Amino acid sequence: MLVLASKSPRRQQILRDAGIPFVVRSADVPEQRRPNESPADYVRRLAEEKAFAVTILEGEVVLGADTVVVIDGLVLEKPIDASDAIRMLRLLSGREHEVITGICLRSDGRKIVDAATTRVRFVPLTSEQIEAYVESGEPMDKAGAYAIQGLASKFIDHVEGSYSNVVGLPVALVYRLLW
């Protein structure tokens, strides 16, 4: 049985849509980047910490994951408030960025840690478009302050790599590593 060590409704939906059975068992893990830690190392470490923060029973595989958006070397996590979301969306406007998700699969005596990177390009956005999007509330619990599968879909004109990775879980990578 797969145990998803995350409360993320998006990760749950991705697994459901892919037909991968799972249960949710999550714990709170502090998400703080260490000095000089690369974005990829950061999400891999958090994924591993999440996978090891929950109880595992015999025959189970625990999946931990963490996602960040990276532009100009800056790591964009979930915005702390509306002003932070506006700042992030201004950075992304008309530009390409990377979405990196780290994953950790843990079972009895075995651990696999990996990451997937997807390149995403935003169309140029006006201040009015950014403010209206932030007012919708959608950006507030999303890395990089946007949901590619939601209202922000109209702002994206190019995706190179795993779409599900941008939503929050590179499901093809997870599936390949599970079987």
Token pair 């999440």 in the structure block, residue: 50
Instruction: List phi, psi (to 5°) of 100.
Output: -120, 125
Q: Give the pLDDT score at 179.
A: 75
12 — pLDDT class (breaks 50, 70, 90): very high
27 — pLDDT class (breaks 50, 70, 90): confident
pLDDT tens, 43-98?
999 999 999 999 999 999 999 999 999 999 999 999 999 999 999 999 999 999 99
User: Which distant-in-sequence residues (6+ apart) come within 8 Å of 153 by Cβ?
Assistant: none
Q: Give the pLDDT score at 108.
A: 86
The answer to whether domain 2-178 has CATH 3.90.950.10 is yes
Would you name the residues annotated as active-site residues?
A: 66
Q: What is the spatial distance between Cα 178 and Cα 4, in angstroms, rounded to a whole number?
A: 13
In the predicted model, what is the mean pLDDT of residues 96-113?
96
Token pair 């999946």 in the structure block, residue: 63
99 — pLDDT class (breaks 50, 70, 90): very high
Q: What is the spatial distance between Cα 67 and Cα 97, in angstroms, rounded to a whole number?
A: 13
Q: Give the pLDDT score at 109.
A: 84
Instruction: List phi, psi (to 5°) of 87.
Output: -60, -45
**Which amino acid type is present at position 39?**
P
Mapping DSSP to helix (H, G, I), strand (E, B) and coil, where does residue 50 land?
helix
Token pair in block for residue 177: 């590593």
Domain residue limits, the chain: 2-178
Q: Give the pLDDT score at 16.
A: 97
pLDDT tens, 113-157?
999 999 999 999 999 999 999 999 999 999 999 999 999 999 999
